[in-house]
Amino acid sequence: MNWYLEVLKKYAVFSGRARRKEYWMFALFSTLFTIAAMILDNVLGIAGSQGCGPIYGLYCLALLIPSLAVSFRRLHDIGKSGWFLLILLIPLIGAIWFLVLVCKDSLPGDNKYGSNPMKKVIGKGVVRSFFDSIQSVSFDKVLMKTASELNANLPMMIDKETRLDNTFGGPGKKFTYYYTMINYAAEEIEKFAFDTDVAPTLRQNAINNKELNLMLKKGVTVVYYYKGNDGKFITDIVITPSDCGY
């Protein structure tokens, strides 16, 4: 329901991006409320010969602009212009084509239409939850809560080769990200070279990323666990507060 309300809050916002879950949850609740409006028309005896009445009509009219807006943002999220919506004018083929497009996952990273909407999910809100809770409960519980909030929106692609599957908080002051290298089996990756190439980048990201930086300052060790597309362990890279000068 929150996703439905979020779209309504962006009533006529055609810019930016909308992730797949936002679009389809809005579509689901819109359909349910449309059916409810039709039923209400019939119960009140004001439905026409087609089974629809003024309540149904008003509801559909009210949703026209936010429906178009979220469709534009969903197309932006996969790198398409919002005007791609016009393919729906092509009989049958257009509807199938559009369905395929809106089912596609978000493009990793930023594109010309804005930042990846998953950044908002994995960033400020979760860390705010972390610090709101830190005074009253144990680190284990705080980190478990943070992981739970993140996992509600996973898995997600980080780039063309890396998928973030889930996270885990604890035990103690430890937070773990679990990744899969989707294009490689574990035996195809040389562990030492992978560690040498990736670890400095992750360490620098931890320093520069405001959310991770706050966690590290609180003494949390961040672990990046990687496995291949065969499910086998590749390596884990550990970033400690001391690694970042804390």
Same structural domain, 69 and 158: no
Same structural domain, 152 and 84: no
Same structural domain, 140 and 206: yes
Same structural domain, 98 and 174: no
Residue 2 pLDDT > 80, yes or no?
no
Total domains, the chain: 2
Range of the domain at 40: 2-102
Domain-located, residue 49: yes
Summary mean pLDDT of the chain: 84
pTM summary value: 0.55
Please check whether residue 155 is in contact with residue 136, taking contact to mean a CB–CB distance below 8 angstroms. Answer: no
The pLDDT confidence band at residue 159, using thresholds 50, 70 and 90, is confident
Rounded CA-CA distance 144/128 in Å is 14
The larger pLDDT score, comparing residue 192 to residue 24, is at: 24
Residue 51 burial (CB count, 10 A): 11
Domain-located, residue 109: no
Residue 63 pLDDT > 50, yes or no?
yes
pLDDT for 132 equals 52
Same structural domain, 61 and 133: no
Domain-located, residue 45: yes
Domain-located, residue 114: no
Average pLDDT over residues 16-27: 90
Residue 120 pLDDT > 60, yes or no?
no
Same structural domain, 98 and 128: no
Q: Tens digit of pLDDT for each residue in 122-140?
A: 444 444 455 454 454 567 7
Q: Tens digit of pLDDT for each residue in 168-184?
A: 988 888 999 999 998 88
Q: Tens digit of pLDDT for each residue in 182-198?
A: 888 988 888 887 888 88
Residue 87 pLDDT > 90, yes or no?
yes
Rounded CA-CA distance 246/242 in Å is 5
Residue 90 pLDDT > 90, yes or no?
yes
pLDDT for 121 equals 45
